Structures are given as C-alpha cells and as structure tokens.
Amino acid sequence: MNEGYSGFPKGYEIGKTKFVIITGSVMSGVGKGTFSASLGNILKLYHGLKIAPVKFDGYFNVDAGTLNPYRHGEVFVLDDGTETDLDLGSYERMLNQNNSKDNYLTAGKLFKMIIDKERKGDYLGRDVQIIPHVTGEIKYFLRNLAAKSGADIVLVEVGGTVGDIETSYFLEAMRELAYEEGRSNVCFVNVCYIVQPPSLGEHKSKAAQIGIRTLMQTGIQPDIVICRSHNPVADNIKEKMSVFSNVPVNRVFNMYDFGTIYTIPLFLQDLGIDAEVLKIIGLKSKTTNRDDFGEWKDLAEKFKSAKKEIKIAITGKYTNVHDSYFSIIKAIEHTAPYFGAKAELMWIETTEIKNQDDAKKALKDIDGVIVPGGFGERGVEGKIECVRYCRENNVPYFGLCYGFQMAVIEYARNICNLAGAHTTEVDPKTEHPVICILPEQEEVKGLGGTMRLGGHDVVVKEKSVAHKLYGSAKIRERFRHRYNVNTKYIDQLEKAGLVFSGQAGEKKIMQILELPNHKFFVGTQYHPEFTSKPLEPNPLFRGFVEACVDIREFDNI
C-alpha cells in the first residue's frame, strides 16, 4: 500500500478493456441512462462487441431497495437479488442481457465496503482518505468487472450532474482512470441539456456551456458532447458548444425528442456516434453478422406499422408517478407491436374504488387489467374489486406479485365464501389469513435486502396456460416479496377451481395462479416484467397482450 494506491486486480492488463464514460451536466433526468443503453445497444448488436454497463449512484443508500417509488421510481431487481434503480432495467432491455451486482455501485455500497475493509485491517493501518482509497476502490470496481466479464468495453454512467458533491469522487476516479489507462483507452461523453425558454422560443446554450466548463475544471476533457433538447437545435448552438468544450464540432451531436426509445439506437447510428466512439478508443467491429441489429430494426418497424389500439389499465397506488411501474410500461410497450398493436395505458387510482359499480365505471372499455406489485393497505380493497370485475366479466387480468395475492384474496372471499379473507400484511387479525408472511421472513427485522429476492426456479404444471406460454416445465423468474399463499388454504382454493400452475421447486410456495375457461386470468408471485426484453418479450406478457388484442373488434384493419 502506498500513496499511488489505485486498485488494480491481480493479472489486470491495461488496454485489454476500453472504457466509455458518460457524465451529465446542467441537470439530471434528461436521458443519460437512455443514451448509455442505446449506445451499448449499437456497440453490442451492430458491432458485435461485448459490453459491460455500470451505473454509479451518489446516494448513500446501499441499494435502491428502501427507496420510496414516489422519490426514485421503480426498484429493479437483478437475477442475483441486487435491488437497483430503473436504469439497470434499461441496460438489460436495450442490450438483451442480464446484469449483476458488479454492474451497480452506490456511494452507500462503496463506503460500506471501504469501512468493512478498514475494520478488518485491509488498509494496513493507513489513514483512509478520498484519494487514494475511495477513488482507488471505484477504479478497482470497474477493473474487476472488466476482468470478470471479459468485456471489450465497460460502459460507465456517472449518475447525477457535475458539481454535485456526492458524485465528485466518482468523477475524480474517472479522471484518474483515464490518466492510468491512457487516453486512447478511455472515451468521455458528456450529456448536456440545451434549454428552450417558452418566453423566447429559441435555444440557449449558456447553462450547458457552464456545465461543460465545470466538468473540465475537474480535469475531465470530454471527447464527445451530446446536446439533449426537446426540438432540434441550430448549427450555431453546436458550434458554440464546440468552442466552449474544446470538442471538434463533428463530435458535438444533437439528440432531440422523437419517436420511441426503440428507434434511438438507429438514430444514434445515423449520426455516426458509434463510429466516433470506436475511433477514439481504437476499436473495430468484431462481426459482419448484423442479424441481432436487424431484429432491432424489424422491431422499430413494427412500432411504426402497429395499427390496433388497445387500452390496458394499471390499477395501483403510485399511478401519479409512472416511473414506479417503469418495467411494466416497457414490457407492454415492447410486446404490443408483436401483435400489430399499440397500447394506451389507463392509470386507475384504486383508493377511489369502493365497490363493483366503481370498478365497472373505472374499467369501462378496458381491454385488459394489470394489478402491479406494491406494499401496504392503501388502495387494497379497490384492487380486489378490480380483480373481481375481471374474473366475472371475462376481462384479461394479469396480477403481478401483490396482484397475485389480491387475486387469491378475491377468490377466497367470493368463491370460497371465506368472509373477511385477507393478507396478514394488511389485517394481522383476519379470521382467514389466506396470504401470510413467508416463514423465513418472520424473524427479519431490517428492510434493506431482506426480502425473498432475485432469480428462483419455478416448476410449471403441465397442460396449464403457463406451461403452454413458456413451453417448459421449469422456468426462472425474479422475485421481491415477503408474503405468500398460506399453505393451509391451498387445497380449499384449488377444490373451488383456482389453479396453482407454478410453485417453487424446493418449497411449497405458490408462484403462478390461473383460471381455466377465462380469456386470460393469470397471477404471478414473481415479477415477469423484470425479465421481459424487446427482442424476447416475457411469455406471460405475450399471452396477456394477445388476449387484450383479441377481445377488441378493429374496424380499421
């Protein structure tokens, strides 16, 4: 250990892996994640390169598991159980690959790792400091990912904006990385926002210029500048950004709002961004087989040609913050074009639904209903009324996690005549606890990372709807729950006609339910939206969307 500590894994070879680092300036939430995922899409699917994406988040939560959806949007769950923010879901969907804990680093995770090492004496009695130890651990994290994954490119998104205190050491680590790896092995891309005040009606680049200058003051010189804007910017704006950033004007690109996320990779390639990135880091395409990218182009065409319009209701309690259900939205969005359809999402606040009349009024003209995951009692009775409406009126129903549990409760109450049946999460004293806490969860005290999380195998009953859609008797899906179907009620529910078509292989945990002789009535204890990808839509989403398409008559086809 010395002053130059920089975190090189054993056997790491400089130059074997290249690094593309995406930073933000001016403001957050303008599309760094979308750009990063789209760039990765081109580099992988078109150029045949192996990509390992990474997201740095400056907050001190160890992961996203305890974050309120109102504040931070959806919690995305990786196969290894890591709870992340929604950008990791975008990476998985756009790159058509799964990620792990090695693709996600928060300040909380970083500093916990450092403190744990310090307590064990791993720093050999040194005074632990931001430089070299904190920045060294960040660099080690990236290099370790590079070595483990064998990636051609590690694609790094630094969350937040330049000037944020909580991301300053991440940026410093990236400056050091470029110094140690050599500038030919690192490409910096800055995503800035060009404002267009309504009162002026023209673009103003001063805020973006200041953001770029602030980034340069950290010692980072961008190689490419991405000007995000609502409308296309004029050439003079790009020229100004070029002068203020020392970036040639042919490497200043305008990424404005248009179309869908699925057309962005095609748009970026048309601009030539991928070619410039590869030129900067000295890489060439590894394949001339463009079949995967051809599939992506075909999907983009499907979006353009989709004519059938379907209405799908999402009934929950976070309906005013759509990012809370980001993966569900994307799963519906990228599945519908396979059936020549485009979906209009109707957001139903279930706290306002008290009875069947309310449910009928809220779900009128709806082609399908999703009750998504969630926690707590608010809006529960409204969700149960929505489930009942779908069951009794042959409306396609898809229950995800909490929606699975709501379907069990509704069936127990109205078919099995178990008055007051409920989940002990909402009513601990219910006479009929058809949903109860998992035995292994009873002694758990903390919240973060303590649920049944990540990928687990599911055994699927033959000749069931689920078996027909998956085409397999054993599948793997991702979970995030504490409660399950009370085993004492399983026989009673099944005798009354409810089919549990999927369960855990090692335990009696019911994981898929369905109703025979219904257009589509399926619930899953897991989250199929987490494994649904544009080139490989989840089979249950395919079944649900197909059912929604079939029930509507289309005069314009």
Residue 387: closest CA among 379, 376, 398, 378: 398
Q: If you write DSSP's letter for every residue of 362-422 in order, what string do you get?
A: HTTT-SEEEE----SSTTHHHHHHHHHHHHHHT--EEEETHHHHHHHHHHHHHTS--TT-E
Tokens standing for residue 149: 């994954």
Catalytic one of 133, 422, 456, 527:
527
Distance CA 391, CA 514 (A): 11
Tokens standing for residue 104: 């996600």
Residue 132: its H or E element: none
Is 416 a catalytic site residue?
no
- 438: how many CB neighbours lie within 10 A of its CB? 15
Q: If you write DSSP's letter for every residue of 459-518 in order, what string do you get?
A: EE-TTSHHHHHH-SSEEEEEEEESEEE-GGGHHHHHHTT-EEEEEESSS--EEEEE-TTS
Is 529 a catalytic site residue?
yes
* Local structure of residue 133 (DSSP, 8 states): I
Burial class (CB in 10 A: 0-12, 13-18, 19+), 152: buried
Catalytic one of 401, 416, 436, 548:
401
Catalytic one of 133, 192, 529, 548:
529
- Signed CA dihedral, 280, 156, 97, 303: sign only: negative
* Chain center to CA of 452: 19
Residues with a catalytic annotation lie at 401, 527, 529
